[in-house]
Structure 1
């Protein structure tokens, strides 16, 4: 049943509706980031007591963000939350770096979820085959971000200490965000810091989900026809993944749009891997945007450190692509052919981050 005014909306050109939906999404995203910053500052005492009980060290910060990316199905929200907590002085620089890195380690969960949905819609293959791209995405993501996390952790004092001396940088602040300042203050004072904090997370998550819905209205056959046919060229496939994810700020879209193609063998595994590597770099740009909006030089430096390191490690993998692809494909084959290995790998993806959180709590 159509709601009143549906006929009027239907008469509006689709391009205008798409533009309006995009503008609404951007507005909600900026408002959510501003509200997140306001509420984390207001709720600092409560959040500090909560975090000191859970985050008892750097490893638990990594595990917590990793698990949060699983739960929310969106690593971008977790990275934005980590940056907001850091701006409020609730987490240290090392914990910030590990929380942003953890958001990337858990982000591939959305690809597994999309693959599972595709399996439920088309029972042409087993569930193991249906989530095969998600497993591949995890392998590719961890092959890059595990060394990136280690390197970043070793280098962050060198990179972030100079930024710490900068203090607040007016040039990072957007005058347009002052529009939201009064509104976020009113919301926080009216409903309280804790509810406003939850509202901010919900709006941020909702804005990114809305953007995915907006992108879903785009005729993806055009993208598939004119872009995905170039996947056989390694560096071009990498550039396409980087470009689509950077422009859309949505790894759920850039990877989700090709899950059905991969499951139906329209795109080969070797052709897809550079694309996923590019997407894994592009997905850090939205975290960088949040750091810039929050006007925190150390936050910007931390995200840039991860971004530059991830780019370097990825370029090294692409430079030795034949060896790298062989290694990834060998592991992937074992997971797809050996059910016990498959189950063990999936269990490790849960127990690994859980152990990072629980073990420090138990020892402490």
Structure 2
């Protein structure tokens, strides 16, 4: 039963990627007019994907869309890289907004309770991906070539079954490229939700009993977060295994932090799969550049884990203990990406 559900979900995901790519190609003239006004340089590309992650409340969809835009020649390699980074920064901030809304609506009485894990994930994500963005951006000239193709990797020979391509083309001809574009995004979202539903059937209690005692070792904790998230391509599942224990005080903050760091790297696996499915070597290298940069920074952080964890603790406590600081952080999460777009 589970095997058939997985097959259906994978086929739906691959179909959605193929439909998104075909629809983007068909909409290239129209999209170019819009993007030429919005994405005037690399910084505006970062801001656009950051804001788009808020609108869609899903960084993975924004990353997939960015790869599709690049594959259609609508964004440059450096802009693609920053758009993928923006999808991760925005995706991490969405959890903070959700916690803040719960608090403001008096769904949860304590600001610390409503934003505890969300703010921690946000701080960890930004502390890793901002320096990783700097490292990867410097490496971008080595990835792209004159015509936007890479000679560093052989041509990708991954191709989707002809029937998927035929169905995608039929849909575009029937409903139009615009509707097909929106349908593709919806199918990606549905496939991700279906996969999360499948993972809900896995015995998390058994996994907790097997692995939670090992979280005390920072390297094992990091590796588990990376592997579990990479294999399942679901941060919701990997964090869902340990969040209940964290909320009940069974896992300390310094034990869960390496796990979240690993999950932040593993969550890029689905983006890598999209790049492979779209047969874009530069896209694959761009994702790998971010994965490599994030991994290097994470390893450095774990080597100097004691001062790093104390710094994160200090910053998080300062934010949640002072409502003015908290509001300032929320405003900055809205204003920074907007300013990147408006004042490139």
Give TM-score, length-normalised by structure 2.
Answer: 0.93
What is the CA RMSD across the aligned residues, in angstroms? 2.3
Query: For 1:258, what is the secondary structure of its paired residue?
Result: helix
Q: Measure how far apart 1:114 and its partner are.
A: 6.9
Matched with 2:230 is 246
Q: Measure how far apart 1:333 and its partner are.
A: 1.3
Structure 2, unaligned runs of 5 or more: none
Matched with 1:99 is 83
Q: Measure how far apart 1:358 and its partner are.
A: 2.1
Q: Contact between 1:111 and 1:256, CA under 8 Å: does it hold in 2?
A: no
Q: Measure how far apart 1:266 and its partner are.
A: 2.1
Q: Contact between 2:71 and 2:278, CA under 8 Å: does it hold in 1?
A: yes
After superposition, residues 162-177 of structure 1 pair within 5 angstroms as: 164-166=149-151, 170=155, 172-177=156-161
Higher deviation after alignment, 133-142 or 341-350: 341-350
> Is the alpha carbon distance of 1:124 and 1:228 closer, same or farther for their aligned partners in structure 2, counting shifts above 3 Å?
farther
Matched with 2:8 is 24
Q: Contact between 2:144 and 2:150, CA under 8 Å: does it hold in 1?
A: no
Higher deviation after alignment, 267-276 or 152-161: 152-161
Whole-angstrom distance in 2 between the partners of 1:102 and 1:320: 26
Which of 235, 243, 246 is equivalent to 2:219? 235
Residue 318 in structure 1 maps to residue 302 in structure 2: yes
Residue 286 in structure 1 maps to residue 246 in structure 2: no
Structure 1, unaligned runs of 5 or more: 1-15
Q: Contact between 1:173 and 1:294, CA under 8 Å: does it hold in 2?
A: no
Whole-angstrom distance in 1 between the partners of 2:93 and 2:139: 28
Residue 195 in structure 1 maps to residue 179 in structure 2: yes
Matched with 1:57 is 41
Residue 48 in structure 1 maps to residue 49 in structure 2: no
Which of 146, 165, 187 is equivalent to 1:181? 165
Q: Measure how far apart 1:131 and its partner are.
A: 1.6
> Is the alpha carbon distance of 1:203 and 1:157 closer, same or farther for their aligned partners in structure 2, counting shifts above 3 Å?
same
Which of 210, 213, 222 is equivalent to 2:197? 213
Whole-angstrom distance in 2 between the partners of 1:110 and 1:234: 26
Q: Measure how far apart 1:125 and its partner are.
A: 5.3
Which of 156, 164, 182 is equivalent to 2:140? 156
Whole-angstrom distance in 2 between the partners of 1:358 and 1:330: 33
Whole-angstrom distance in 1 between the partners of 2:219 and 2:54: 30
Give TM-score, length-normalised by structure 1.
Answer: 0.88
